[in-house]
DNA sequence: TTCTATAGTTCGGTATTAATGAACTATAGA
DNA sequence: TCTATAGTTCATTAATACCGAACTATAGAA
């Protein structure tokens, strides 16, 4: 299993972030993580309320979110715990995540 | 030539907008249109400073922007004049375009 | 220590979508 | 009517996404 990679702050691009946000499922995941800002969630928790996505697809979505720089994930035991890179993102693209969540309904 | 179609405000989706914004060339177009908010630009003007994109690709990008609801285009003579749907977008997704332009550099 | 369940990842094939050269349309002006 | 301009559409190739099946890594039970 290859190690999880995360881009450095300076390598995160606006268009990369927008790409990650251009999918309903990923927006729902982000919304779940945003609700629980202060704690990390495992995949199942982060997928709470999102219907019936195959595990492989879920894994793909988390990879997209990770590799564009929106979330940070660490393996803990047999789970993978993720959280938003809130402070970093807010430093690089002020207001982006907040605006997104303000405008996200569903 | 089929007529240009634009979605109604209620059919514009957040993920659709993000998809349109997930491309460097389209972000550059948006930035050009944003600079000249008050006037409409033809394709060539809107592509100002953007290097060497084939006409067919340009046309494709404008179509994506149009069909997601970011811009409105009308044919005027042999040109196609476009402008941001600024007020409408601001009503539906407050702050989205402004945040995007604040965070766009290039 | 093995066995089993859990939580996720990776691989590979199919299906969808994007980019672009070539041909086309529509209009303006000579 | 002829030519140039501004852009669109079509068709092909190239890149990506989705998802079942097989795999990995860990935890806890037997």
pLDDT, one tens digit per residue, over B78-95 is 999 999 999 999 999 999
Query: Does the CB of A85 sit below 7 A from strand D?
Result: no
User: Inter-chain contact B24–A16, Cβ cutoff 8 Å?
Assistant: no
What is d(CA B65, CA B13) in angstroms, rounded to the nearest whole number?
13
Per-residue model confidence as pLDDT tens for chain A (106 residues):
888 999 999 999 999 999 999 999 999 999 999 999 999 999 999 999 998 899 999 999 999 999 999 999 999 999 999 999 999 999 999 999 999 999 999 8
Distance B15 CA to D7 C1' (A): 28
- Three-state secondary-structure class, residue B78: coil
Eight-class DSSP state of B70: S
Give me the pLDDT at residue A103, please.
98
B34 in contact with A, Cβ within 8 Å: no
Task: State whether residue B79 is helix, strand or coil.
Answer: strand
3-state secondary structure of B73: strand
Chain B residues within an 8 Å CB radius of A9? none
At A1 the three-state DSSP class reads: coil
The pTM (predicted TM-score) of the whole model is 0.96
> Given an 8 Å threshold on Cβ–Cβ distance, is B23 in contact with A15?
yes
Work out if B58's Cβ lies within 7 angstroms of strand D. Answer: yes
* Chain A hits for B21, Cβ within 8 Å: 14-15, 18, 22
Q: Which residue of B has its CA nearest to A89?
A: B103
Rounded-to-integer distance, Cα B102 and Cα B66, Å: 22
Per-residue confidence at B96, pLDDT binned at 50, 70, 90? very high
Summarised one tens digit per residue, pLDDT across range B5-17 is 999 999 999 999 9
Give the per-residue pLDDT at B87: 98
pLDDT above 90: residue B2: no
| Rounded distance between C-alpha atoms, residue B44 and residue A97, angstroms | 33
Q: How far is CA A24 from the centre of its chain?
A: 12
């Amino acid at each position: 299993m290859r190690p999880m990679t995360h881009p450095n702050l300076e390598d995160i691009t606006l268009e990369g972030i927008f790409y990650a946000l251009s999918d309903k499922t990923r927006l729902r995941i982000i919304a779940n993580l945003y609700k629980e800002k202060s704690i990390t969630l495992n995949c199942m928790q982060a997928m709470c309320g999102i219907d019936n996505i195959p595990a492989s697809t879920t894994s793909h979505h988390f990879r997209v979110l990770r590799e564009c720089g929106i979330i940070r994930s660490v393996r803990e035991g047999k789970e993978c715990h993720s959280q938003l890179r809130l402070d970093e993102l807010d430093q690089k693209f002020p207001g982006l995540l907040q605006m997104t969540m303000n405008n996200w309904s569903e």
